Structure 1
Amino acid sequence: MNNIDSKIQEKDIFKLFNEVKIDEKEFEDFEIDVQTLQKEKIKKNLKKKIKENKFHNSLKYVSAAAAIAVISLICIETATPAFAEKIPAINYIVQSINDRFDNHGEYIKYTQMINKTVSNNGIDFTINEVLADNSKFAITYTIKSDKKIKDLETFGLSKFLKVNGTQNGSTGSIMGYYVDDYTYVANEDIHTSLPQDSKMFDVDLNIDDIMGNKGTWNFAFGVSKEEITKSSLVFNPTNKISFPDGTNVNVDKVVFSPIDTSIFVNGTFKNYERHNTFNEWNYGSWIVYDDKGNELSWTGGGSQSNLNSKTFTGEFNFKSMKEIPKYLTVVPCNILSTGGGETHMVNGKEVTTPIDGYKTKEISKFIDGNFPIELVQGNVGKIVISEVKTENNITTIRFTATGKAPFTQANEVHVKDEAGNIVSPKLPALHRDENNPNVFTIEYKAFDKNKNYTIYTSDLSNYEFRDDLKFNIELNK
């Protein structure tokens, strides 16, 4: 709320509504296209806040008509396109960010508005919204500084998080973007131990460092997971898999929620070796397909290991599914790292060590206007580019991925300019056609007509698909 260039504060708006009568029917006739669910969310939040804020002071505020205009501005993302492009509307930030990254779950329906701001040392930190189920805690926040900010992509909240007074280990992912040089908006999914025997839990966030900026930004609030857990479907399969390296994996549960799909596992291992990019146990990268053979769109995941007991727990996360399949098919993989870095804590400081990775072979072709363009990805499959077009200052590349893992293959398609610089795509980096799951598009800022561009991928030789270890997860109730 403090992101809006206005002197009127959120508390002033809600105080204003204590002094006026509101006809809910006024919200039924917006002149813009607002989904019914969004209208109901607006009315629900207004009624809730008005009930919670029964102040009796008689301060002078703007007229009721002006108040409705202000509420329309801050509550409806589509009210002012230029404004909405920068700051998502209240209660829609988590939906807006996930839509921006092509994660189309029902976030609006299950988000809980917090909108608490703590200011310290020139930085306003706002907790906008939260959302939780039995395994994941999602939190949307805004960082606004009086100085230019950068490198917040690596900032995370999990190390400051306590649930019911306890700090547990966690894995997760962060999606965010810069509104301008001074404002950053992000959504962080934290997978951690959440209470299973209650519908509510308490959260404490005691932040003392934001990318080297010391200060105090403390928050405490309650979170409900009742609604989303009621709308989730949970399966408890009986899969027990023994891998050749001595790793034993139990599929604990599979959860289909309105916002994502998750597979939870636990197991034991003999040797602690980091063979792949995402996990700390062999065959810890899973390519998963539905009962129609379509690869699920992965979004993240991770594992936690105990070296003393040689046990681990982990989860694989995918985008939400419209239909519940009869079974899932899993092909375990080893994915050899192509390089990067590994971060360790040394004397209380983060130290990054470069890692020399496996070298794949680049497969590339000039974008010369002759289509189709075919890129063969080793023995995994191929990419066929059918179109590259530029409209409205956006260049769109459309292609089909065929092979062992089309979604995974599509994520390995990139563009570079004639100087060899990688061209960054617009977010989300990859669009998947809902009706044709092997068809994808990537959007870029319009290519320079006076420059040459190359589209490229790799032979994916760092992917070791273990079809011989393939198994099904039956989804029976």
Structure 2
Amino acid sequence: MDNIDKLIKENKSNDEISEKVNKRVEATLGMIMKEDIKEELQFESNMKKRFNIRKFAFVAGLAIIISVSLGVKYNVYAKVLDLLKSFEEKGEAPEKIDLYSKILDKKVNDSGYTVSIENIISDAHTIRIFYNINSDKTGEQKPGIWGNEMKIDDKDLVDYGGISSEEYLVQDDNKNWSGNMLVMRVGKELPKTFNFKWNIYNISNNEGKWNFDINVDSEELAKDTKTMDVNKGDKLDIGDFNIKNITLSPIELDITSKENINDKENPNAYINYIVLDENNKLLSLSSNYGVNKWINADNLSEVYYGYKLNGKLPSKMKIIPYEISNDSYNTMIGKSYAIGSKDVSLYKGENGSLDIESIEDKGDYVEVTVNIKGYLRADLLDRLLLVKNDSNNSKASNMNPESRKLINQNINNEKFILKFNKYFGKDKNYHISFNVGNDDKYLDNIYKIYEDKAIEVDLSK
């Protein structure tokens, strides 16, 4: 055990793996030891007994078997650890997720594809599955799941109010292995322990049976999770809100809010929140792709919001409500800014400021350097579009997913270099548009921040 521990620490420097993860490795290896040899090594150490050469041979042989077994399981654990760390480094998995993970290493092979589930972790509203698909079949694209069904305690996932799902991918530099993380959010609260069935029946247009039956236990995570009742709110122009509670999990922070919108003139109006820590820094959304809000399937006025903790639990938190209404920007492309433009002021008003420092053509994409201030950075930057004029038609696209991720992971930065992929050809017939029409006051008319109605919560209690 000491040799294995030494091996781990020699191959995983402090820069690569935290002390807490080291402890998790030690605990897991201890678990492996118990599972593999607890029966074989349950003989008493009795100094009065005579030395037995047969027992010595048995123990020596057993030690060799154990070392081989541990070597195999260590390799599995190291692979899963690398997989988790890769997602953590990319900002796609919570930093402490590896501390609450259990290695599964369940594999099913059919029709030339091997699906392996390495890990699964669940909290109150989220299921994260780490899995791989391997195949000897050649092809440029990584195999993907084209048909599947999921059940929780033999109920369809939709019965739990499935709200959203996101797929993430990592791959090593040599493309020797890759991993997927599937994140599913549900409206109803999940049990702390449940049976999860995942039946896959189509991979990349190849039919087969890849069925998994897994017992999920999130008791350990639940022990380190606490819910604080808040029950504070106020009235806004478009309705009212009440922050019911805050759930503090080691891997995520969730806010439960009850909201009633009564603006009949603006049926699409809605409420959102700016969340700050004790240092007045913005918290990142739980998803790098903007999906941090989901609705209780049993009570449509109850809304959940998820935020990343970035490895640190805030001691205090300020929740500032803001509303979005009268938004018709979808039909208002706005002013155009050509490739090569520099030092363009897009917006300066009640909700901050946004300037373009430069717009450069990079061949496959257009690179836009921006400077931004204010609370609504993600909202404002999401209004930037890459537009191509093609005959009488205009084709538009948002920034690429990597840029969205960059913003969310560094939401407190005041400068970003964003990439807009050229989805409609590699020529230079593109320009950047700020999607607010031609009215400089447009943003101030649709966004309203209520700093005077902020809810402050002491999380240290």
Q: Shorter-chain TM-score: what band? A: 0.5 to 0.7
**Structure 1 position 403, deviation (Å):** 3.9
- Deviation of residue 138 (structure 1)? 1.9
Structure 2 counterpart of 1:472, which letter? Answer: A
Q: CA RMSD in A?
A: 5.1
Q: Note if contact 2:87-2:170 (Cα within 8 Å) is conserved in structure 1.
A: no
Give deviations 1:338-368, integer Å, cap 9, x for gaps: 7xxxxxxxxxxxxxxxxxxx31334443353
> Matches of 1:289 and 1:211 in 2, distance apart?
43
Q: Which has the higher helix share?
A: 2
Aligned to 1:365: 337
Offset at residue 186 of structure 1 (A): 2.7
Q: Counterparts of 2:283 and 2:356 in 1: how far apart (Å)? A: 22
* CA deviation profile, 1:99-156 (whole Å, cap 9, x unmatched): 4255653222222222212223333322221222233222222234547586988969
2:284 is aligned with 1:297: yes
Which residue does 2:97 correspond to in 1?
Answer: 107
Is 1:410 paired with 2:381?
yes
Once the two structures are TM-superposed, the CA of residue 237 in structure 1 deviates from its matched residue by 0.9
Q: CA deviation at 1:451?
A: 5.6
**Structure 2 residue 243 is the aligned partner of structure 1 residue 251:** yes
Rounded to whole Å, the distance in 2 between the matches of 1:227 and 1:337 is 47
Aligned mates of 1:182, 1:117 — CA distance in 2: 15
> Counterpart of 2:331 in 1: which secondary structure?
coil
Structure 1 distance, partners of 2:387, 2:36, is 55
CA contact (8 A) 1:275 1:336 kept: no
Contact 1:233 1:256 in 2 (8 A): yes
SS of alignment partner, residue 229 of structure 1: helix
Structure 2 CA distance for partners of 1:31 and 1:417, relative to 1, 3 Å: farther
Farther off after superposition, 284-293 or 25-34: 284-293
Match of 2:9 in 1: 28
- CA shift in 2, pair 1:178/1:443, >3 Å: same
Which of these residues, 458, 463, 471, is aligned with residue 435 of structure 2?
A: 458
Q: Which whole-Å CA distance do the structure 1 matches of 2:104 and 2:350 have between them? A: 50
Match of 1:400 in 2: 371
Residue of structure 2 aligned with 1:472, choices 439, 454, 460: 454
Question: Where does residue 45 of structure 2 map in the other structure?
Answer: none
Question: Which residue number in structure 2 is paired with residue 90 of structure 1?
Answer: 80
Q: Report the residue type matching 1:297 in the other structure.
A: S
- What is the alpha-carbon distance in structure 2 between the residues aligned to residue 171 and residue 435 of structure 1? 26
Uncovered stretches (5+) of structure 2, i.e. residues with no partner: 41-57
Counterpart among 318, 325, 331 of residue 307 in structure 2: 318
Q: Give TM-score scaled by structure 1 length.
A: 0.66
Q: 2:322 — aligned with what?
A: 331
Cα distance 1:470–1:222, how it changes in 2: closer, same or farther (>3 A)?
farther
Distance 1:453 1:256, change over 3 A: farther
2:70 and 2:124 mapped to 1: Cα distance?
39
Helix, strand or coil at the partner of 1:251: strand
Tell me the distance in 2 between the aligned counterparts of 1:182 and 1:435: 28
Residue among 132, 139, 148 paired with 2:129: 139
Deviation, structure 1 residue 264? 1.5
Q: Aligned with 1:376: secondary structure?
A: strand
Runs of 5+ in structure 1 lacking a partner?
1-19, 77-88, 277-281, 339-357
Indicate the SS of the match to 1:28: helix
* Contact 1:153/1:174, CA 8 A, preserved across alignment: no
Please give the per-residue CA displacement for 1:192-230, whole angstroms capped at 9, x wherever unaligned: 53456xx53332323445576544332222223233334
C-alpha displacement of 1:239: 2.5
Q: Could you tell me which residue of structure 2 aligns to residue 161 of structure 1?
A: 151
What is the distance in 1 between the residues matched to 2:380 and 2:144?
25
Structure-2 change in CA distance of 1:75 and 1:396 (3 Å): farther
Q: Which amino acid aligns with 2:338?
A: F
Cα deviation, residue 161, structure 1 = 2.7
For 2:328 and 2:87, the matched residues in 1 are separated by: 28
Matches within 5 A, 1:375-390: 375-376=346-347, 380-386=351-357
For residues 324-351 of structure 1, the C-alpha deviation after alignment (integer angstroms, 9 at most, x for no partner) is 324311113248587xxxxxxxxxxxxx
1:442-470 CA distance string (max 9 Å, x none): 465999x9968744432285883244697
Q: 1:251-290, aligned counterparts within 5 Å?
A: 251-266=243-258, 275-276=267-268, 282-290=269-277
Verify: 1:48 aligned to 2:31, yes or no.
yes
Partner of 1:441: 416
Distance 1:268 1:427, change over 3 A: closer
